[in-house]
Amino acid sequence: MKKLTITFIVLDILVAICFFVVYSPMFSNLQNTIISTAINTKTHDYIAYIFYSEDRVNEVISMDSFTPIDEEVNLDDIVIDTKPRESYDNPYDEAILTRDEGNEDYKYLKVKVGKYDAHLVAIYDPAKVRIMTCQKFNTKNSSGKERVINMTKRLGATIGINAGGFVDYGYGSDIPRGYVIKDGKVIWSDSSKKGNIIGFTNDNKLLLVNATGDEAVEMGMRDGLEFGPFLIVNGEVPKFNNAAGGFSRAARVAIAQRKDGIVLFLVTEGTHAAGPNMKELVDTLKLYGAYNAANLDGGTSTQLVINNKLINNPKNISGKTVQNGRSVVTGWGFFPNLKEETKEEVS
């Protein structure tokens, strides 16, 4: 009986401590991190509303936001010319444009985003960047979801990153959020509303547009998906709130295109609550010449695969390594053997 009493006392103390941390003004910074991380990863936003009022959540979102770029992407600015050069504008440009011996397809660089380790891949032929999807959408037992490393093996991609979001209540699913466009067709949508769609046109240019899936297809998008926010548009960047630098800290994934057409995949290390903020992500992309860029799904889903090897170290919300990466629903892949003129289908 005495042991049981002690156990209940200990539990009461732990509950009191948790309550104090979650609600005391002394831990407001930690509370802000909990809220913004839950909201901005998009897959665990329900956590914020379990513990806090809608007013409190909206207050943190406002503080942790930035002013979006209010202009449309001008695709005429993108002139695809990825040939090697004899001179470079700066060391970052040289790092991208100098090929590795024997590899004319892509360049892999280890970089820093803020204080965090990150991985940057420059892909020289944008025509060979295509959307990847899991085996099936919306199965009853979520059996369609798939790790990026398995997705690249199955489809034959040399490089792959995760891309869009999906319905998730802690264990994932094979149900995408928003639009998914493949080969000029909307293959998934969960609404008829406009959303931020990220994709490549038939001219192999990165199009960032707020539209419905059908509208994006009408604009010439061949492959795309809904996510965001847009990070760079026509070389312009958002105005970030000084309080947080634009969203909280987390592992990040971004896709970008330079004015010369080279596509950039940027993947950072981190967890749900530790990693670069959006401003640091944008600053790094700008250094390497990104002209248009967008944020992709991060956190535990963060994955970069090169030649059937997982390059980064994905971690779950507890900071533990996720072996072989988390199962997701969409990704972007590089297919060096894809022949555009035959319109070979990646499926």
Instruction: Report pLDDT digits (tens) over 293-320.
Output: 999 999 999 999 999 999 999 998 788 9
Residues 115 and 32 in one domain: no
* Averaged pLDDT, 245-252: 72
Residue 310, in any domain of the structure: yes
Percent composition of the chain: helix, strand, coil (DSSP 3-state, to 5): 30, 30, 45
Per-residue model confidence (pLDDT) at position 238: 86
- Cα separations in angstroms, 302 against 1, 298, 305: 49, 5, 10
Domain check: are 10 and 141 in the same one? no
Q: Do 86 and 41 have their domain in common?
A: no
Strand, coil or helix: 101? coil
pLDDT, residue 79, reads: 97
- Are residue 41 and residue 86 in the same domain, yes or no? no
Integer Cα distance of 183 and 129 in angstroms: 12
Select from 12, 34, 64 the last residue of a domain: 64
- Tokens, residue 283: 């600053």
- Say if 43 falls within a structural domain: yes
Confidence band of 239 (pLDDT split at 50, 70, 90) = confident
Range of the domain at 183: 67-342
Mark whether 24 and 169 lie in a shared domain. Answer: no
In this structure, the answer to whether residues 47 and 117 fall within a common structural domain is no
Q: Is residue 347 part of a domain?
A: no
Residue 191 has pLDDT above 80, yes or no: yes
Owner of token pair 């629903």 = 329
Smallest CA-to-CA distance from 179 within 160, 161, 170, 166 is with: 166
The average pLDDT across 249-270 equals 96
Instruction: Calculate the average pLDDT of the chain.
Output: 86
pLDDT at site 243:
47
Same domain, 58 and 72: no
Cα distances (Å, whole numbers) of residue 129 to 16, 291, 328: 52, 17, 18
Q: 75 and 54, same structural domain?
A: no
Do 329 and 297 contact (CB within 8 A), yes or no? no
Instruction: Give yes or no: residues 42 and 142 share one domain.
Output: no
Give dist(CA 211, CA 230) in Å, integer: 13
Residues in contact with 250: Cβ distance below 8 Å, sequence separation at least 6, in sequence order: 37, 40, 41, 270, 271, 272, 273, 274, 275, 276, 298, 299
Q: Do 164 and 26 belong together in one domain?
A: no
Give the rounded distance of the alpha carbon of 204 from its chain centre. 20
Instruction: Pick 213 or 66 by higher pLDDT.
Output: 213
Q: pLDDT, tens digit, for every residue of 100-134?
A: 999 999 999 999 999 999 999 999 999 999 999 99
Q: Look at residue 118 and tell me if it is in a domain.
A: yes
Q: Quick check: is 179 in a domain?
A: yes
Among the three residues 64, 79, 110, which one is the final residue of a domain in this structure? 64
Total domains in the chain come to 2
Same domain, 148 and 170: yes
Q: Looking at the domain assignment, is residue 133 inside a domain?
A: yes
Look at residue 284 and tell me whether its pLDDT is greater than 80: yes
Measured between its terminal Cα atoms, the distance across the chain in Å is: 63
Among residues 64, 84, 115, which one ends one of the domains?
64
pLDDT for 288: 98
